[in-house]
Amino acid sequence: MAVSKPVAVGPIEAPEGKKLSGAQILCECLLKEGVEVIFGIPGGATLPLYHALYEYPIRHILVRHEQGAAHAADGYARATGRPGVCFATSGPGATNLTSGIANACLDSSPVVAITGQVATPLIGKDAFQEVDITGITQPITKHNYLVTRVEDLAPVVKEAFYLATTGRPGPVLIDIPRDVQTAKTNFGYPKGIRLPGYKPTLLGHQRQIRQAAALIGEAERPVILAGHGVIISGAFADLRELAEKGDIPVITTLLGISSFPESHRLSFGMLGMHGSVYANTAVNESDLLIAIGMRFDDRATGKTSHFAPKARVIHIDIDPAEIGKNVRVDVPIVGDVKNVLMSLNKEIALAKHTEWVEQINRWREQFPLTIDTETDVLLPQYVVQQIYGVTEGKATIVTDVGQNQMWAAQYYCYDRPNSFISSGGLGTMGFSLPAAMGAKVGRPDELIWAIAGDGGFQMNIQELATVVQDKIPVKVAILNNGYLGMIRQWQQLFFERRYLGSPLSGPDFARVAEAYGAAGFRVTTKEEVRPTLIKAMEYDGPAIVDFWVAREENVYPMIPPGAAAIEMIHGPQK
């Protein structure tokens, strides 16, 4: 079997001050930034870089499509908290990265994308495989660079990693022309960064923190809305302290899942379009929302003019542009979530909201998330529940987008911090397999399960070759219903059941897995689910389980598009 490259013997002898090529300088910079792995595909405009990389102790994982490289870097970044790095050549290689870059941008994931470019004399002349990738990615990166002088390369790399990982994290792209990769200059890595126009606010304003504490002290029906910022900041213990000290129910956004243990008595799941009835009702009836590291996107709020009409709002976020953008805020606090919560927890008093918590529990009893346990039909919710049971909640779940994503959010219990990875803002189908690959590389000792639909899985199915070649033992559960499931659900509920473009054929996924060199299983009955999951987990390598689930099962509850959260559809209409 082919391998990506031999184990490197060590870095080139390159003391600072020695002349190196741009390609060597880039590799030296990556080492200094602690980069251990890169996901990418070589091309003509990056061959000097790959020639140099051969000598460096940095693992290169050859993906089969550049979108897979970007998603893998994203999954690695989310799993580790360190920047993920991906390489692509010029032209189509670079443009193939854009969906993954946009995904990382909307979900605040620190990715450094490095692309090759045609030689500087050819820029702007429509040379072979030339595109203006910095222009193309300007709206979907935190910042990007076209490096036209080799002397600028080391400072640019230093800045890129600094920008990607500080403040609100995000993707940064570095475009390096081929002649800059081969040109030589003295190498020296900057000791620090000076960017006068870039000063993220890390500490919340103390006066606003005290105002927030006062509102929390006055509230009778407070709710915490925990978002992805809690996970990015690593503020798990601080969030729990706030909830327990103030006796405040915690509801999460989709990307806030696993910021707070879901078995905790104060945990009430996810809000939004497919959030629980009791979570959305609690938000609607609350008198105070404490929004932490979330941005009030439309899938969380429903119709914003009717969102939480009785509540005052405290909004904590590191990005000042998000505060007041979608929902009116009474107390804005700009700062790193962990720093703000540490200060806020010192200001609030012990409290009890027994009646309010009991009321939400009554709503949970009245409107639970349930599935039909009597049916012999294989339901997708049942599969997710069984994955939870077999893994005992100790896996990291990486989802694709659509119905599979919502069922994974609803029916797996996330007690472990940062154990749920998904595409939120962009909703990128094809995310699960390459992101799970990146997560597994970042957490080699942890069990990683990808949950996908048959539509999304086929969008990056080629990465099966990558996980086999590089021996990355991810496990994949395909909830195969023969449709683009969420599209079909919307067509059923809102478009007169005109199922145009949603019925979906696919291959025998078990045989495809085996053809790639992975283990493949097919499950068609409830009785087969648990033993097959165990077989997949016991297999020493990548394993794919194709679950033939009910074809027209829908995700409920559901807020209709454009409706208020309180107008949600609880279940199938009679």
Q: Degrees (nearest 5) of the Cα angle 314, 229, 368?
A: 80
b/e burial code for range 83-101 (CB count within 10 A of at least 16 → b):
bbbbbbbbbebbbbbbbbb
pLDDT value for 9: 35
| Residues near 342 by beta carbon (within 8 Å), at least 6 away in sequence | 238
The segments of the chain whose pLDDT lies below 50 read: 1-13
pLDDT value for 5: 35
pLDDT value for 177: 98
Among residues 568, 547, 574, 64, the alpha carbon closest in space to that of 301 is found at 568
Tokens of 552: 């027209």
pLDDT value for 1: 28
pLDDT value for 98: 98
pLDDT value for 17: 61
The conformation of residue 322, written as its DSSP 8-state character, comes to G
What element of type H or E holds 369?
Answer: none
pLDDT value for 571: 85
**3-class secondary structure per residue, 451-513:** EEEHHHHHHCCCHHHHHHHCCCCCEEEEEECCECHHHHHHHHHHCCCCCCCCECCCCCHHHHH
Within 10 A of 407 (CB to CB), how many other CB atoms are there? 27
